[in-house]
Amino acid sequence: MGRRGGRRPSAAAVDLSTRVGALRLANPIMTASGTAGHGAELAGYMDLAGLGAVVVKSVSAGPWAGNPPPRLAPLESGMLNSVGLQNPGVAAWLEEQLPPLAATGASVVASIWGFSVEDYRAVAGAIGAARAASVVAVEANISCPNVEDRRRMFAHDPAAAAEVTAAAVEGLAGSGLPLWVKLSPNVTDLTAIAGPVLDAGAAALTLINTVMGMAIDPATGRPRLGNGGGGLSGPAIHPVAVRAVFECRAAFPAAAIIGVGGVSRGVDAAELLAAGADAVEVGTASFAEPAAAARVLAELTEWCRRHGVGKVSDLIGRAHGR
């Protein structure tokens, strides 16, 4: 008998399908941008087509070399990174990296970034114009320095966040691709950023990006990362992600939300779904275990079976009494 009464559904009976806005996914587990490579790098470790989607590393309008090494600093609580969004540029990604990923049968979410509003419009436009059948959505990483505004982060200012969102939406016009916008937790009130982003045309919010942090070698007095500070990810930020998802779901009941941050177990994914996420991304765990996303999916399925959840949609928003 299940814990909530009645017959406990078998693992095969769990309906994992979910919707992120108008987009239907076979299940709610995806990779997180920056942790799965630009293409099919993880295909040798798991069936990428078995995931809800593969969110690839962010690409820009042109090639970008990224930050100086060292770029990663492992911590007990997770990881600091300062890779700096190194990428070959959108044209090279479409020609060289996307085809082998598409060949796996995976649903692909392209991630984009830029230093200016026009950068976002251009890279979104290139992806939209490509009409690649494997690409099902575009996720805009707006936690980037805006060179037009004294290098302040787009994601830290409501007006800038809305402007860059609108530009990316315009770039995708006619493609049918929804735009997801990935927001930063490094603000006082995340809902104050999320509202204008949704009003500007975002089809979904991705919550959250990394938390700003720093590690110093006390023997040398120098930062452990080549660029100084970096972004903290992993288990340490999971409660931050849960709160961000919960607060944005409460503020915007009809919005589509993707939860990301410190997901390394099936129960972590379940927690974000209960907080109000429609789907979940697995990131830092993949560095130590390339097949982490597939394991989390299996664990989530088993968690649902054990707790009498026959449909994952019944779990979504449970913390809000949905």
Catalytic residues: 144
Q: Which of these, 198, 179, 178, 201, lies nearest to 190 by C-alpha position?
A: 198
Q: Which of these, 5, 39, 20, 87, lies nearest to 279 by C-alpha position?
A: 20
Q: Rounded to 5 degrees, what angle do the CA atoms 18, 166, 209 make? A: 55
In whole angstroms, give the CA distance from residue 88 to residue 205: 26
Q: Which amino acid is at 304?
A: C
Distances from the Cα of 305 to the Cαs of 109, 255, 319, in angstroms? Answer: 28, 27, 19
Distance of CA 19 to the CA centre of its chain: 15
Pull the structure tokens for residue 313.
């949609």
Residue 78 phi/psi, 5-degree rounding, is 155, -125
H helices of 137-253, where?
158-171, 190-199, 238-251
Q: Which DSSP letter does residue 92 get?
A: H
End-to-end CA distance of the chain: 24
Distance of CA 3 to the CA centre of its chain: 32
Specify whether the CB–CB gap between 134 and 89 falls below 8 A.
no
Specify whether the CB–CB gap between 47 and 294 falls below 8 A.
yes
